[in-house]
Amino acid sequence: MTFPRKSADSPLYADTITAMSDVATLVKEAREDAGLSMRALAERSDVSFTTISRIENKQIDPTFATVQKLFAALGQTLHLSRRRAKPVPHLADLADAWSADVAGHEQPDWTRLRAFADYLFRHPEDAQASILSAPAPSGSPLLDNLIAGVAEMIADDDGLRRPAWVKRVPALRAPWEGMGTARMRAVARATTPPQLASRNVFVSAETIWRKRDHADAE
């Protein structure tokens, strides 16, 4: 499904979803963008408050006609297209990509993070679908901020709306930087993406995104 949506920055842009469960997030964000409560949207769309609540809480998969009525009430147009589904890795699946060393220090699983980045390098068309779902709390504030920062970077680089869930991840209280010499840490700070730096996470971009040239995408 593709939802062309109005924006203050651009007259029209498209949100594409690959699973009906994604509808919950898009309906909620569209409603909040319009400044409407669920009851106000219910009155405007002739869809019951209970149904809207269950949609937004992912308790039901709504019919196409129901979603169409909701978006029409929000002044947006809904289009349906069919295509063969393919498995898309989700950033939310990395919520367990960490461990603690013997001293109790959090250690992200950089291999899994790089594998995710490698996939998106080969399939940039899946960027939005891959970051839409909110991850469960990982138990590691460091990993929570890494995942949120990566989602922000992907959205910013692709000109997409940042997923709403990243706002619910508070930045680390104290700066975190990887192990290494003072010079290595200085280089990492200098090459940290701003989305991670704003979260007090200092790690070189190449720790996750491999250095490539255009031919690597072929």
Enclosing domain of residue 47: 2-73
- Of 73, 102, 135, the one marking the end of a domain is 73
Query: Are residues 168 and 67 part of one domain?
Result: no
Identify residue 72 by its one-letter amino acid code.
Answer: A
Identify residue 55 by its one-letter amino acid code.
Answer: I
pLDDT of the residue at 12: 32
Pairing mode, strands 98-100 and 106-108: antiparallel
Beta bridge partners of 177: 202
pLDDT of the residue at 86: 66
Q: Are 106 and 100 a contacting pair, CB within 8 Å?
A: yes
For residue 100, the surrounding DSSP H or E stretch is strand 98-100
CA angle 176, 182, 185 (to 5 degrees): 40
Low pLDDT (below 50) residues in the chain = 1-18, 214-215, 217-218
Number of separate domains in the chain: 2
DSSP 59-96: SS---HHHHHHHHHHTT---B-----------GGGGGG
pLDDT of the residue at 89: 92
Task: State the CB neighbour count (10 A cutoff) for residue 17.
Answer: 18
Query: Are residues 63 and 131 part of one domain?
Result: no
pLDDT of the residue at 178: 82
Query: Are residues 179 and 124 part of one domain?
Result: yes
